[in-house]
Amino acid sequence: MLRKWAFRAVIAYLLFGILMYVYLFFIANSTIPADLKGTSVDPSTFLNGRELMLSEEYSKIRNLLFFLSTPYEWLFYFLVLIFGVSRGFERWAKNTSRFHIIQSAVFLFLLYLSAYLATFPLEFISYKFSKMYHISRQTFTGWMKDEVIDFWVNLATMFIIVTVLYALMRKFKKKWWIPAWLLSIPFTIFMMFIQPVVIDPLYNDFYPLKNKELEAKILVLADKANIPAKHVYEVNMSEKTNSLNAYVTGIGSNARIVLWDTTLNQLNDKEILFIMAHEMGHYVEKHIYFGIAGYLLLSLVGLWLTSILMNKIVSNKGEQLKISGVSELSSLPLFLLIISILLFAVSPLTNWVSRYEETRADRYGIEMTHNQKAAIQAFQDLTKSGLSQVNPPLLVKIFRYDHPTMLERMEMIEHYRFKKNP
């Protein structure tokens, strides 16, 4: 029976991978509409022939790896359960100590290390392709350094979550999801508060913008938007990538507007000012806080559904999955499997909301700067630096894009009608 389940799961994964490969490489259409040929959204007007070819190749590979990685994670958790690996880790953890907190630490380390080793090949393939297409500039040593930091940061975060979660499961049995959700509220806010000042600096160096003339221009925009900003931060990313980026992170007094130094090096001041105005739009429209509220709402529904599904699965298939009870540590792969599936299922909705907010920020940015040419040039440069598709396939947009496509963004800017001053 176990071999049959495992065989079917592996075959289903391979068939899914083949179908996605056929869809992305032979069926999906990423060409732009005929009536937009020769316009500013047409990649042939700002990319040369080689860049167009590389953009299509790299985008297809990257999209395929995206669609392969999540089901691969599901397959891993499923196989860990049915082959009794999770139960074996639980026995090992219980033999180590009688204290639940130490048992959680041992079990989680064994499971997380196994998951990391299992998914490492896909991560490495992604890194190698990014190097091959000159997106990444990172050495293997530098990449592995970030991987190790990522491993321990995620492990420490998961240790806190799992220890508290399973303590609640043991105490509240079927209603554990309610206190778990309530505790997730301050924890989420705390993590967002410390992210810019504690976690992000582990990976990169952050410092106030060196170009004081440009900073002064950005702060003028911030003043117009009534944003109490004193600094704009830049981060050293040129040793790692050729891609461009800027973002808003953190909340409250730790909120930061950050520019990658690659953006500073490759874009002119007018393009950067549009990007900064875009990021200020997120701040002005309180997208970070709406994001937190949305995340907490989805967490409530997700934890409730997870509790129902875990109870049913353990009751009906617990013996086959080697799980003796929901509150046992051996059920953690099942918990992670259900959460991962639910997150993937809801991703079209969360991506749609994010794309809406990004469109709002684009509108805010163009209203602030009144420079359509610079905005379109910025999007063209972002496309070129990341070898992105201007018009990605529908499934890719639905499941992967939390920003509007470059075609949509540039078309909106091209035809934007400015508000009339009263």
The domain locations on the chain are 2-204+286-414
Confidence at residue 166, expressed as pLDDT on a 0 to 100 scale: 95
**Average pLDDT over the chain, rounded to whole?**
92
Confidence at residue 133, expressed as pLDDT on a 0 to 100 scale: 94
Confidence at residue 88, expressed as pLDDT on a 0 to 100 scale: 95
Instruction: Answer yes or no: is pLDDT of 200 > 70.
Output: yes
Cα distances (angstroms) measured from residue 328 to each of 229, 303, 314, 332: 48, 17, 11, 8
Question: What is the average per-residue pLDDT within 295-316?
Answer: 95
Contact present, 234 and 212 (Cβ < 8 Å)? no
Confidence at residue 253, expressed as pLDDT on a 0 to 100 scale: 65
Buried b (16+ CB within 10 A) or exposed e, 59-82: bbbbbbeebbeebbbbbbbbbbbb
Confidence at residue 3, expressed as pLDDT on a 0 to 100 scale: 75
Instruction: Answer yes or no: is pLDDT of 267 > 80.
Output: yes
Range from 18-22, 206-210, 301-305, 327-331 carrying the lowest mean pLDDT: 206-210
Instruction: Answer yes or no: is pLDDT of 246 > 90.
Output: no
Please report which confidence band the pLDDT of residue 222 belongs to, taking 50, 70 and 90 as the band edges: confident
CA distance 216 to 210: 11
Question: What is the average per-residue pLDDT within 339-365?
Answer: 96
- Residue numbers annotated as active site: 279, 362
Known binding residue 100? Answer is no
The residues with which 258 forms a beta bridge, in sequence order, are: 233, 247
Range from 166-170, 317-321, 353-357, 380-384 carrying the lowest mean pLDDT: 317-321
Confidence at residue 252, expressed as pLDDT on a 0 to 100 scale: 65
Confidence at residue 109, expressed as pLDDT on a 0 to 100 scale: 97
Confidence at residue 421, expressed as pLDDT on a 0 to 100 scale: 55
Please report which confidence band the pLDDT of residue 422 belongs to, taking 50, 70 and 90 as the band edges: very low
pTM of the model: 0.92
Contact present, 146 and 124 (Cβ < 8 Å)? no
Q: What percent of the chain has pLDDT over 90?
A: 73
Q: Which of 318, 293, 209, 308 is closest to 256 using CA atoms?
A: 209
Known binding residue 234? Answer is no
Question: What is the average per-residue pLDDT within 359-379?
Answer: 94
Instruction: Answer yes or no: is pLDDT of 348 > 80.
Output: yes
Please report which confidence band the pLDDT of residue 257 belongs to, taking 50, 70 and 90 as the band edges: confident
Please report which confidence band the pLDDT of residue 420 belongs to, taking 50, 70 and 90 as the band edges: low
Confidence at residue 60, expressed as pLDDT on a 0 to 100 scale: 96
Confidence at residue 50, expressed as pLDDT on a 0 to 100 scale: 93
Identify the residue with better confidence: 199 or 59: 59
Contact present, 136 and 241 (Cβ < 8 Å)? yes
Known binding residue 231? Answer is no
Please report which confidence band the pLDDT of residue 223 belongs to, taking 50, 70 and 90 as the band edges: confident
Q: Within 10 Å of residue 139's Cβ, how many Cβ atoms?
A: 12
Question: What is the average per-residue pLDDT within 378-400?
Answer: 94
Range from 110-124, 153-167, 212-226 carrying the lowest mean pLDDT: 212-226
Please report which confidence band the pLDDT of residue 78 belongs to, taking 50, 70 and 90 as the band edges: very high
